[in-house]
Structure 1
């Protein structure tokens, strides 16, 4: 294989470049219908390597975008209240900082169901979403958000600019990791931005992924995993300068990069140097740092299995909450099936009635949880722990407890 950024050859059979090996699994958002239970699933290697030259951490297996993000893609951003609040607060910040108004243009790449642009549109600011999955695009349009169904890249950017002009703000939340052709995507960002335009790009911070043992955020839809110093190099290669960065609590610890054309004249914030210094102090500039997550992932897996087996032996019941992609990575890596976790509750009606890929655990509505009254509710999207425990506070009425597996097993 070759590095997705610098094209350096990577020996995917060498332990020197191996970052993490989670075996094989089906795509984490390939939920099954009852009819599909009689069919075989497609299992793909789930292994990450670190480029020996630029240190980009990346997946060694590529599946076509059209298969990973099919029309029936079931992830809808608006079913998380905390994520909606995150989006609303961002829009308030960006409008004030960039002086956006009715003469501006905001474009969001991977705009999903209009979770963010609805707040832009409500302020009377022209905006367009770019979203490849038809189900989420339709949901966005129902909110009054103009949405183009397409994958974003350099060719799309040129065509869009020719028709609509350049953008004053481009938002790309949790999409940079999802693009197989990284250089094409970032080159498209540069074309799309106006001379004084700004791109806001969010992604989980690789430093947090390792330090908090968040290996379950690895799945086939994520082709790349970023530190600031690697992302900065990728942007610089395409004429974009990261002039500011924020550390965010979302997704277990994320970065929000603010990038602009190199000749825009925007001054670099001291926060860029601060985060780079943090990464350097952690050892992220050295190849040796990119080893060691494997053992930590195994420890998390084994602790969860021992816990679930103990519950079963003692006759106590368990259910899971949150049919999230990270949960599917964890369940499949641990080999957990319905005998240990009989069902998972999810708020999204698009997931209810389906089955988790690989584990084939049924996804049900919250009413099933109330009726079953399990002794333990295993929260799979641990990053939403506070939101979910507040929502399910009634579980404690029957003596139920909550548990998370990452970064370590915690029963509370």
Structure 2
């Protein structure tokens, strides 16, 4: 990668090189196991002019999202997060019965269903045919399309400008940052609001969350780099919230630059935190690669020792981040017998690259393994509760990020009761 996709600079510096892996959502059917898998370099670099962290666009969004394996509604906490957001946004933006809400990358309607329930007109713009169909089946109006300035103009022509545009967990997923941002601006009313949730590079670096680096995440934002990205499309940041989701995210509230006004004090506070962490100079990035290597060594040492003791380790979840971790660590079924997932779409399939079987969650109770490696570690509180039954046979949970942690669920329940 020789040029920054946001500012065009060639001042690109390596942050961490994770080798080459298959795309993280390309789960394999049984009849694909004897076929070759494409693998692409996964090398994070940062632009030392605008400080946007990014990977090369080696796969296209069309390859990833035309049919997608991730359905947001299978996470109980994520649906509740969306409900709370809609409740708060109605008050912040003043959404009344005549309002119009558009969501970009609306997935299976997990968020807009709460808008529909309030009787507010809305439209989801979702590129994945299969999850978009699930949204329509649930009563959420959904257009199958990628957002571009032309798509936004067509939606605006048919439905009118949006009082609120929501873009949760998509701003990292598009290589054309400038064109996508221009699409957001074309979609939103001249006095409207845009809300974007995206993982915060600050917590990614501080908490060793390297498994969230994968091919469908093209860039990784600080508030400072997000301000510059928003400006490329005519939007200005007016407020920011720090969220616990995905291990640490930022919710960016933006408006058309002409009406934005001065940003809140919270924006200045987060910018100061990022500067103090060294994320606007190379010092904030230099130790990350070594800390990533330690996560890998510690997890492998644990798995190898468990295997040598004759203990069984299985996985919980088959998220995209888990596939970065499994491939970087070189974990195969000899160390992780299988993983389970609540999403029936993944049952009977295999993880990309590592070929670990994916089974229904009930398999854990049937087999009673010694350890359950939790791959969606960002849902720790939710999953400690869901998996509390593993204590019945003396099983324990293992969290690999930010550092290896082995949890006795009975003790956790006892101290948090």
Q: Structure 2 length normalisation: TM-score?
A: 0.96
Q: Number of aligned pairs? A: 406
Contact 2:48 2:281 survives alignment (8 Å): no
Hey, what does 2:42 align to over in structure 1? 46
Shift of 1:291: 2.2
CA–CA separation in structure 2 for the residues paired with 1:35 and 1:26: 17
The question of 1:394 aligning with 2:395 is answered: no
Q: 1:61 to 1:190 in 2, by over 3 A?
A: closer
CA–CA separation in structure 2 for the residues paired with 1:20 and 1:106: 38
CA–CA separation in structure 2 for the residues paired with 1:404 and 1:359: 19
Shift of 1:389: 1.6
CA–CA separation in structure 1 for the residues paired with 2:179 and 2:164: 19
Shift of 1:97: 1.3
Shift of 1:267: 4.2
Shift of 1:362: 0.5
CA–CA separation in structure 1 for the residues paired with 2:351 and 2:368: 21
The worse-fitting range, judged by mean Cα deviation, of 379-388 and 281-290 is 281-290
Q: 1:265 to 1:367 in 2, by over 3 A?
A: closer
The worse-fitting range, judged by mean Cα deviation, of 208-217 and 287-296 is 287-296
Shift of 1:234: 1.3
Alignment RMSD (CA, Å): 1.0
SS in 1 for 2:372: strand
Contact 1:101 1:124 survives alignment (8 Å): no
Hey, what does 1:68 align to over in structure 2? 64
> What are structure 2's unaligned runs of at least 5 residues?
408-417
The question of 1:371 aligning with 2:366 is answered: yes
Tell me which of 4, 16, 22 is aligned to 1:20. Answer: 16
Hey, what does 1:14 align to over in structure 2? none
The question of 1:30 aligning with 2:26 is answered: yes
Contact 2:102 2:125 survives alignment (8 Å): yes
CA–CA separation in structure 1 for the residues paired with 2:362 and 2:70: 21
Hey, what does 1:55 align to over in structure 2? 51
CA–CA separation in structure 1 for the residues paired with 2:147 and 2:156: 13
Q: CA deviation digits over 1:110-146, x for unaligned, max 9?
A: 0000000000010000000000001100110011000
CA–CA separation in structure 1 for the residues paired with 2:45 and 2:254: 27
Tell me which stretches of 4 or more aligned residues in structure 1 moved more than 3 Å. Answer: none
Shift of 1:52: 2.3
SS in 1 for 2:25: coil
SS in 2 for 1:176: coil
SS in 1 for 2:346: coil
Shift of 1:223: 0.2
Hey, what does 1:5 align to over in structure 2? 6
CA–CA separation in structure 1 for the residues paired with 2:262 and 2:136: 37
Hey, what does 2:273 align to over in structure 1? 278
Contact 2:57 2:175 survives alignment (8 Å): no
Q: 1:265 to 1:312 in 2, by over 3 A?
A: closer
Shift of 1:10: 4.8
Hey, what does 1:204 align to over in structure 2? 199
Q: Describe how 1:98-177 pairs up with structure 2 within 5 A.
A: 98-177=93-172
Contact 2:11 2:49 survives alignment (8 Å): no
CA–CA separation in structure 2 for the residues paired with 1:237 and 1:355: 40
CA–CA separation in structure 2 for the residues paired with 1:133 and 1:160: 18
Contact 1:44 1:61 survives alignment (8 Å): no
Contact 2:40 2:58 survives alignment (8 Å): no
Q: Describe how 1:323-342 pairs up with structure 2 within 5 A.
A: 323-342=318-337
Contact 1:62 1:180 survives alignment (8 Å): no
The worse-fitting range, judged by mean Cα deviation, of 288-297 and 145-154 is 288-297
CA–CA separation in structure 2 for the residues paired with 1:403 and 1:312: 15
The worse-fitting range, judged by mean Cα deviation, of 290-299 and 118-127 is 290-299
Tell me which of 307, 312, 315 is aligned to 1:317. Answer: 312
